[in-house]
Structure 1
Amino acid sequence: MPQDWLPPTQYYATLPKQIAGAGVIFRDAHDRVLIVETTYGAKTWEIPGGALEEGESPLAGARREVREELGLDLQPGRLLAVDWVPPRPDGRPALTNHLFDGGVLDEKQVASLRLADGELTRFTFATRDETAALLRPHLARRVAVCLDVVHTGRTAYLKNGVDPTGTPTSPDCA
């Protein structure tokens, strides 16, 4: 029985939709993480980053978001984690988020940070415990894993901020 194949444009239209994002984990000399407070929604704390534009690579999107949000034009470093977040009841499709290492910002770089007008209200550097209190739970888990793997050279695969394979991320657990 012959298979009826769809033309590519029709076939691609049948595929499930997902969104993709990218963020950057910046640290200070005390290994605290840079977080930013947003003006939209419930004024939540986030890491620098956001949604990718059509056809944009995760690395390029991370760099663009940091430039737009903080006025900092730095090439992010290696990929620390990929986090797949399932669809939400509010209709948001599944999200694949890529987290890159932004390295340690020195005092001059921190002084040069310029928050995006209308998008961000402030920034701070937060300890692991502070991020657990300030960030939404899945994002706090994601950041904690990134802090674990940044010094190991490994990349973590996460589902909603948790490694579904059970692979230890902390160097103490390896």
Structure 2
Amino acid sequence: MNSVEPLYRRDSEAWKRHLAEGNAIQARKRVGADALVFDSEGRILVVDPNYKPDWDLPGGMAEANEPADVALGRELAEELHLHIPPDHLNLLCVDWVAPHGPWDDSLMFVFDAGILAPAQAAALRIGDGELDAYEFCTLDQVQCRLRPYVWNRVHAALTARDDNQVAYLHNGEQPW
């Protein structure tokens, strides 16, 4: 029996070059991470970014090679002076967002960042130039302020939180 030894066993440098070629042509995805942050009254924190027409959840886009939970922690600290360690975040939802406008597709993560104590909520401050305001809102207020597909993502994340599950969506909708 003639067996051919795999390339990665014969020539590790050739294998690395082969992987690098694949990496260079494979699709890249933008990754965003948002947080469901609650106050002691059960309201949800929403933010008013000055570069978008509508309110949003706090969070933002990951930098190159940055995990989603670490990106979220960085964004919360930069934007609101809110420090939540990644191990205090609980994944609730992953939403694949199809290409739209000038954007390629992306993966959007929603994490449960927990309930802020009153002192933590009072200590929130706008930290960078990206936000004009923030507010804790009731579910009805959140639904009115968010774009419909973002509200769908939030609703799925809240349901997942109640069910102790993780939701998987395509463009804010269950794919099956």
TM-score between the two structures when normalised by the length of structure 1: 0.85
2:74 maps to amino acid: R
Partner of 2:130: 119
2:157 maps to amino acid: C
Partner of 2:69: 59
| Separation (CA, whole Å) in 1 of partners of 2:73 and 2:82 | 9
How well do the aligned residues superpose, as a CA RMSD in angstroms? 1.6
Q: Given the alignment, which residue of 96, 108, 128 partners 1:84?
A: 96
> Unpaired segments of 5 or more residues in structure 1?
166-174
Q: Given the alignment, which residue of 16, 19, 32 partners 1:8?
A: 19
Identity of aligned residues (%): 35
Question: 1:61-102: CA deviations, max 9, x gaps?
Answer: 1111111111011124210000111000x2201010111111
Report the 3-state secondary structure (helix = DSSP H, G, I; strand = E; otherwise coil) of the residue aligned with 2:162: coil
Question: Quick check: 1:128–1:144 contact (8 Å CA) kept in 2?
Answer: no
> Unpaired segments of 5 or more residues in structure 2?
1-14
Partner of 2:141: 130
- From the two aligned structures, give the one with the greater helix fraction: 2
1:149 aligns with 2:157: no
Question: Quick check: 2:31–2:62 contact (8 Å CA) kept in 1?
Answer: yes
| Deviation for aligned residue 1:49 | 0.7
| Deviation for aligned residue 1:7 | 2.6
TM-score between the two structures when normalised by the length of structure 2: 0.84
- Between the two proteins, the alignment pairs up a number of residues equal to 159
Report the structure number with the largest CA radius of gyration.
2
